Amino acid sequence: MMAQQTADVIVIGGGITGTSAAYQLALRGYRVTLLEKSYLAAGGTGRTVGLVRQHYSNEITARMALRSLQVWRDFEQAVGGDVGWVQTGALFIVGPHDLEGLKANIALQRQVGINTEFLDAQAVQALAPYLNVEDIGGGAYEPDSGCADGVMATNAYASRAKDLGATILQGVEVTAIRSAGGRITGVKTSQGDYSAPVVINAAGPWGARLALGVGYETPVEVSRHQVAVFQRPEGLASQHPFIGDFVQGFYLRPETGRLTLSGSLEASEAANKVDPDHYAETVDMEFNIEMAEFTEHRVPAMSEAEIRKGWAGLYDVTPDWHPILGRMPGLEGFICAYGWSGSGFKMAPVVGEMIADLVTGEKLCPIDPHLFRFERFAEGDLVRGRYSYSIIG
Ligand SMILES: Cc1cc2nc3c(=O)[nH]c(=O)nc-3n(C[C@H](O)[C@H](O)[C@H](O)COP(=O)(O)OP(=O)(O)OC[C@H]3O[C@@H](n4cnc5c(N)ncnc54)[C@H](O)[C@@H]3O)c2cc1C
C-alpha cells in the first residue's frame, strides 16, 4: 500500500515520553507525526503518581532529574500549559544501616547542584512532627521537589507540539515497523502506512513487543504496580511532603482533598508480571491493608484515616531498572525510548531533548544518553546506582 503520509520522524506512543519528544522535535523544525493507539496518557503516564524528585545515586540520572525539575517548576514559561505542579518537598528516610549510603548520595546530588540536605532523626521530627522516627537513622530533604499530573502534562506537551506543526493522531495503532536495506522506512498501522526515515519507539510497556517485530529482543518485563489512596483525618497536617520510607519500603504522596497516595518502593513488586493488554486495573484490598499498616507505623495519627480508592498501572522494567534510550544498532533511523522502570515521568522534559539530539545529531542537551544504550545488556555494562536501599536509582 502507498504510504498515506510522510514525516521526518514518527513517534509511536502518546505518553509523556512520546509527547515530550514530539514537542522537542517540532521545536527544532522537524515534521513529526505521533501515533497513539488509544488516547493520550492511556499507558503508565495516566496512572502515574507524578513525583518529581532528584534523589538519584548516579551522576547522570541526578543531572537529568535536576534539569527536568527546572522545567516542571516553570512549565508555563518553559513549554506552555498547566501541568498541575505542586511543590510538596520530598523527604527520603532510611534506617541506621543505610545512613552512609544516604550521605554519599546527598554529597553527589549537591555536587551536581541539587538542593538537598541531610537531616538527622531529630531534624526529621522537627520537619514533620507527626512522623514516628524511632527506627530511622536520618533522611534527605529536597525542598524544591514536587508532583505534577500525568494527564495534564501529556496534553500540555501534545498541544504545544501541535502548535508547532506536529501531527498528533489518537486511535491509530502501529502494527509493524517497516524497514528496507538496514534503514527505517516507516510504520504499518491500523489505518494504513506512514513513511519516515526515523521511528521513535516510545510505546512504554508495549515497546518491547514492537521492537521484537524488527528483530530486537529487549529485556523489558511488564509489571503491575498498585496505588492505595487514603483520606487523612481532620486535624492531621493539611499538607505533608512526599515521604519515601526506605525502612518499610513504601511512600506517601500528598494529594488534594486531604488525600494521601501510597505505594511500594520494593523491587520485588516487579514480580507481578502481567500482559499489558489484560491486567487488573484496580487496587487489591490486601494491598490497601498492607499500605495502611506501613502508614500507621510511620504516621500514627493515620490510624484514623479512611481507605478511599486506588488503582494499578504498568511499569516497563529492565534488568538494571534504567531505560533503553538510544539508536538501535544495525537499523538506521530506529530509536528506542522505553523501559523506564517506574521512573520515567519526572525525566520526560530532558528525555525529549535527548531524543531530539539523537535524531538530529545535535548536542543541545548537555546530557549524553550513552549510559542507556541497548548494547549495555550484551556488554554486561549495566547501570548501577551507588546505594542498595531501594529501586529508585
Ligand atoms: C502507579 C505508578 C506510579 C508511578 N509513579 C511515578 C512517579 O512518581 N514518578 C515518576 O517519575 N514516574 C512514575 N511512574 C512511572 C512513569 O509514570 C512512567 O515511567 C512514564 O509515565 C512512562 O511514560 P511513557 O510515555 O514512556 O509510556 P506510557 O505512558 O506507557 O505510554 C506509552 C503509550 O504508547 C501507546 N502505544 C503502545 N503501543 C502502541 C502502538 N502499537 N501504536 C501506537 N501507540 C502505542 C500506549 O497506548 C501508551 O499511551 C509511575 C508509574 C506507575 C504505573
- Residuewise pLDDT in 10s, the chain (393 residues): 555 678 999 999 999 999 999 999 999 999 999 999 999 999 999 999 999 999 999 999 999 999 999 999 999 999 999 999 999 999 999 999 999 999 999 999 999 999 999 999 999 999 999 999 999 999 999 999 999 999 999 999 999 999 999 999 999 999 999 999 999 999 999 999 999 999 999 999 999 999 999 999 999 999 999 999 999 998 887 789 999 999 999 999 999 999 999 999 998 888 999 999 999 999 999 999 999 999 999 999 999 999 999 999 999 999 999 999 999 999 999 999 999 999 999 999 999 999 999 999 999 999 999 999 999 999 999 998 766 666 566
Task: Determine the residue of 206, 265, 314, 335 to mutate for testing ligand 1's pocket, defined as the one with the most ligand atoms within 8 A of the Cβ atom.
Answer: 206
Superfamily of domain 87-144+221-317: D-Amino Acid Oxidase, subunit A, domain 2 (3.30.9.10)
Per-residue confidence (pLDDT) for residue 303, from 0 to 100? 95
Task: Determine the residue of 38, 39, 49 to mutate for testing ligand 1's pocket, defined as the one with the most ligand atoms within 8 A of the Cβ atom.
Answer: 49
Per-residue confidence (pLDDT) for residue 138, from 0 to 100? 98
| Residues forming CATH 3.30.9.10 domain(s) in the chain | 87-144+221-317
Q: Can you tell me the distance from the alpha carbon of 393 to that of 87, in angstroms, rounded to the nearest whole number?
A: 22
Rounded distance from Cα 22 to ligand 1 centre (Å): 15
Which atom of ligand 1 lies nearest, measured to the CA of 45? 21
**Ligand 1 touching residue 355 (CB < 6 A):** no
**Ligand 1 touching residue 322 (CB < 6 A):** no
Which atom of ligand 1 lies nearest, measured to the CA of 345? 11
Rounded distance from Cα 205 to ligand 1 centre (Å): 7
Which atom of ligand 1 lies nearest, measured to the CA of 337? 26
Task: Determine the residue of 33, 39, 45 to mutate for testing ligand 1's pocket, defined as the one with the most ligand atoms within 8 A of the Cβ atom.
Answer: 45
Rounded-to-10 torsion of CA 271, 274, 279, 284:
-10
Superfamily of domain 5-47+150-219+320-379: FAD/NAD(P)-binding domain (3.50.50.60)
| C-alpha count within 13 angstroms, C-beta hemisphere, residue 291 | 31
At residue 326, what is the residue type? G
The per-residue DSSP string of 332-361 comes to BTEEEEE--TT-HHHHHHHHHHHHHHHHH-
Please name the residue whose Cα sits nearest to atom 48 of ligand 1: 43
| C-alpha count within 13 angstroms, C-beta hemisphere, residue 203 | 27
**Ligand 1 touching residue 393 (CB < 6 A):** no
Strand pairing partners for 338?
Answer: 324
Q: Can you tell me the distance from the alpha carbon of 36 to that of 187, in angstroms, rounded to the nearest whole number?
A: 13
260, 233 contact by CB (below 8 A): no
Please name the residue whose Cα sits nearest to atom 14 of ligand 1: 342
At residue 20, what is the residue type? S
Is the alpha carbon torsion for 65, 68, 70, 74 positive or negative? negative
| Residues forming CATH 3.50.50.60 domain(s) in the chain | 5-47+150-219+320-379
Cell for 356?
531530539
Backbone angles phi, psi at 304, to 5 degrees: -90, 0
Rounded distance from Cα 197 to ligand 1 centre (Å): 25
Cell for 357?
539530539
Which atom of ligand 1 lies nearest, measured to the CA of 42? 49
E strand or H helix at 17, and its extent?
helix 16-27
**Ligand 1 touching residue 203 (CB < 6 A):** yes
Q: Can you tell me the distance from the alpha carbon of 228 to that of 217, in angstroms, rounded to the nearest whole number?
A: 34
Q: 310: helix, coil or strand? A: strand
**Ligand 1 touching residue 232 (CB < 6 A):** no
Q: Give residue for cell 498501572.
A: 313
The per-residue DSSP string of 24-71 comes to HHHHTT--EEEEESSSTT-SGGGG---EE----SSHHHHHHHHHHHHH
E strand or H helix at 163, and its extent?
helix 150-163
Please name the residue whose Cα sits nearest to atom 27 of ligand 1: 204
Rounded distance from Cα 338 to ligand 1 centre (Å): 9
